[in-house]
Every structure is written in structure tokens, then in C-alpha cells.
Structure 1
Amino acid sequence: MFMSRVLRAVDHPYITGKGGRAANNSTPMQGLTMKSIKHHKALQPLFAIIGGGMVFVAAYIVRLAAFTTDVNWSKVKDPADTYGYYDGKQFKFLNPAGIDYSKAGLDRPKYTE
């Protein structure tokens, strides 16, 4: 408690004066406000590309969490019900070879029988 009182009582020009750490930490960095983005034309494509990349990464993470067999959101105790959900369904995102997945997985032996 004593140490925190001492640190809050610091009134040195290096901390609170003009150009000090307190003033520098309260203003946003250059390039992070709309005014500075409009001024620096070279940063605009950078922000667009990075923002687009972040959107695609977020969409891919949502796809992985929702549509893969690695993540199980159901509370079914029998694993055959859980993993059998994808039998006869296309699991891949793209299918450039045109493979028919309607019969995929149906020829596997059933371990419960």
C-alpha cells in the first residue's frame, strides 16, 4: 500500500510535463485515427489488406469450430452418432475433382453390430 501511494504521488516533469510519458500514453499512435489514415495514403492499403486477412482468419476459425469433426459440440455419449454424422456428406471446403461424397463412409464396417 505504501509503494502504490509513492508511485501515484510522482510529480516529475519526465512523467507529467510537456512531452512526458503521461501525455504520450494518452494520445493514440500516429496512423491509428481516421484523420492520420486519410493523411498517410501509404497506410490505407496496408490497413485494408490486414483487415481483410483478419476477417478471413476469423471466418476460417468459425468454420473450423462449426463444421469439422475435430470439435464436438453435441453432448451425445455414443461416439458412433457423433462421428457418423459426416457419413455421406462432403467434408472438404472445395471439391475441384468432382468426387461424389454421397456414398462415402457407408461401406465401413459398423463396430456396434
Structure 2
Amino acid sequence: MLGTVSKQLKSHPALIPLFFFIGGGMVMSMMYLGRLGLGPHVCWDRKNNPEPWNKMSATDQYKFFTVNMDYSKLKKNGPDF
């Protein structure tokens, strides 16, 4: 299969951007799926800790990216579960 692809790319160099952008899109989609599957709100282990989000304190960072937010100064408003 790689021989066929390389033969096509040698005979039609205009296909190089197509392969580049399709490959980049596949890499970005795999990274996004990994980010969704490895977040703090996802539970893969149902037996040992079925609700891991209840053990997170108020000072834990929940968001992927925050601007001008210091989580260490936050205080917990609710009860412990």
C-alpha cells in the first residue's frame, strides 16, 4: 500500500497537501478524543471509585485552560459528600 501511495505522490505532486491536511486532521481528532477520555470528569474504573469527581477539592483545577484564575485561593462552599 505504501508503494502505491508513494508512486501516486511521485506522479501527482498536487496530492501532497491533501495527504498533509488529512493526516493533520486525523492527528488532531485523536488528540481531542484523548483529551475527552482522560479528563477529571470521566470514570473508567467503576469498582474502586465510581464517582471520582466527589473527591476533588475546591482548589483543584477543573478547566483545561483558565485566564487569571488562582485555584489555591478558592474556598469550598458546599458540604463534603
Corresponding residue pairs, total: 76
Aligned equivalent of 2:38, options 47, 55, 66:
66
Percent of residue pairs bearing the same amino acid type: 36
Structure 2 unpaired stretches of 5+: none
- Considering Cα pairs closer than 8 Å and 6+ residues apart, tell me whether 1 or 2 has the greater RCO: 2
CA shift, 1:91, in A, is 2.6
**TM-score (norm. length: structure 2):** 0.71
Deviations 1:29-82 (A, max 9, x none): xxx61110222121101111110111011011011101241x2113324x3xx1
Amino acid at match of 2:14: A
Contact 2:40 2:53 (C-alpha < 8 Å) held by counterparts: no
Distance 1:99 1:62 in 2: 25
Give the 4+ runs in structure 1 shifted more than 6 A.
none
Structure 1 unaligned residues grouped into runs of 5+:
1-27
Q: Choose the corresponding residue for 1:107, options 71, 76, 80.
A: 76
Kindly report the root-mean-square deviation, in angstroms, between the aligned alpha carbons of the 2 structures: 2.3
